[in-house]
């Protein structure tokens, strides 16, 4: 139970608001509800919630406009509630600074897990990005020594592979879009070169995944980007 966490839900569909109202309160989240983008923006600044759950298809504006507006003044975590057919909008949402998304219809456990990750990232002091040594499954990444081990054996990564892995480690649990990865690993002039990413992701999976065809940790978020699953 996480006491005293406030959630602002910006969603016009009454059945989803009702569903979240009944499911979130037993976990100690206090829910505020807004049914339009304008109302959502007003409540976001008035209530300063711990986290925002945002529908992208709002009656008065696109949810991406809400993200853009909030990101101009706040880093509060934003989880997008998206319909399956909104891939382009979803990518745009991440590029504007959304933290994560769940696809409708979603389960409570999945949503709660995503909320915990987003809140953990939000509470991390600025500059203190990650632990110097990060372990997930059989993989250990020692950021201080720039070494990567799989089942205790050191694996040699190229500088690009290493940068790709550590970028995902830095955002562990969160989706990182193709554009974000290309920008951070190859630089802002290469954000359109999606094929770089496919090639290096394949190499990286071959080196650290037990079954590269069914990756456990370097997970594809179809049409959006990649996510490091750290558990
Ligand atoms: Ca809607």
Query: What pLDDT, in 10s, does the model give residues 76-88?
Result: 999 999 886 677 8
Q: How many residues does the chain have?
A: 231
Q: Indicate the pTM of the whole model.
A: 0.71
Biggest CA–CA distance in the chain, Å, is 55
Residue 127: pLDDT band by 50, 70, 90 thresholds? very low
Lowest-pLDDT range, 40-44, 107-111, 187-191, 218-222? 187-191
Kindly give, in sequence order, each residue whose CB lies less than 8 Å from that of residue 174, ignoring residues fewer than 6 positions away: 99, 100, 117, 118, 121, 227
* φ, ψ at 79 (rounded to 5°): -105, 125
**DSSP H helices in the chain:** 14-24, 37-47, 63-71, 87-95, 108-122, 159-170, 178-185, 194-208
pLDDT at 126 over 70: no
Rounded CA separation 121/157 (Å): 27
- The CA 61 to ligand 1 mean position distance, Å, reads 10
Distances from the Cα of 47 to the Cα of 42, 43, 50, 174, 178, angstroms:
8, 6, 9, 25, 33
- The CA 35 to ligand 1 mean position distance, Å, reads 9
- The CA 74 to ligand 1 mean position distance, Å, reads 23
Residue 1 is predicted with a pLDDT of 52
- The CA 15 to ligand 1 mean position distance, Å, reads 11
| Ion ligand 1 residues within 5 Å by Cβ | 12, 55, 57
Lowest-pLDDT range, 11-25, 110-124, 184-198? 110-124
- The CA 54 to ligand 1 mean position distance, Å, reads 9
- The CA 223 to ligand 1 mean position distance, Å, reads 21
Select from 72, 55, 57, 48 the least CA-distant residue to 20: 55
- CA 15 from chain center: how many Å? 25
- The CA 4 to ligand 1 mean position distance, Å, reads 27
What is the 3-class SS of 56-72, one letter each residue?
CECCCCEHHHHHHHHHC
* φ, ψ at 49 (rounded to 5°): -70, 165
Residue 149: pLDDT band by 50, 70, 90 thresholds? very high
Tokens representing residue 48 in the block: 């300063």
- The CA 196 to ligand 1 mean position distance, Å, reads 35
């Amino acid at each position: 139970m996480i006491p005293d966490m406030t959630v602002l839900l910006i969603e016009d569909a009454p059945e989803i608001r009702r569903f979240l109202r009944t499911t979130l309160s037993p976990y100690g989240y206090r829910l505020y509800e807004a049914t339009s983008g304008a109302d959502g923006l007003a409540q976001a600044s008035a209530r300063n919630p711990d986290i925002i759950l945002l529908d992208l298809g709002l009656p008065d504006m696109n949810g991406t406009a809400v993200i853009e507006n909030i990101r101009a003044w706040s880093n509060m975590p934003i989880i997008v509630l998206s319909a399956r057919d909104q891939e382009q909008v979803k990518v745009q949402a991440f590029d504007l600074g959304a933290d994560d998304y769940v696809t409708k219809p979603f389960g409570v456990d999945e949503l709660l897990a995503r909320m915990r990750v987003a809140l953990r990232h939000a509470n991390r002091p600025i500059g203190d990005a990650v632990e110097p040594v990060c372990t997930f499954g059989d993989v250990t990444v020692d950021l201080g020594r720039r070494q990567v081990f799989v089942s205790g054996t050191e694996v040699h990564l190229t500088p690009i592979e290493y940068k790709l892995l550590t970028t995902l480690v830095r955002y562990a649990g969160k989706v990182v879009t193709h554009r974000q990865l290309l920008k951070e690993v190859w630089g802002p002039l290469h954000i359109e070169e999606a094929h770089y990413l496919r090639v290096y992701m394949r190499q990286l999976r071959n080196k650290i995944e037990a079954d590269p065809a069914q990756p456990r940790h370097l997970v594809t978020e179809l049409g959006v980007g990649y996510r490091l699953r750290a558990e």
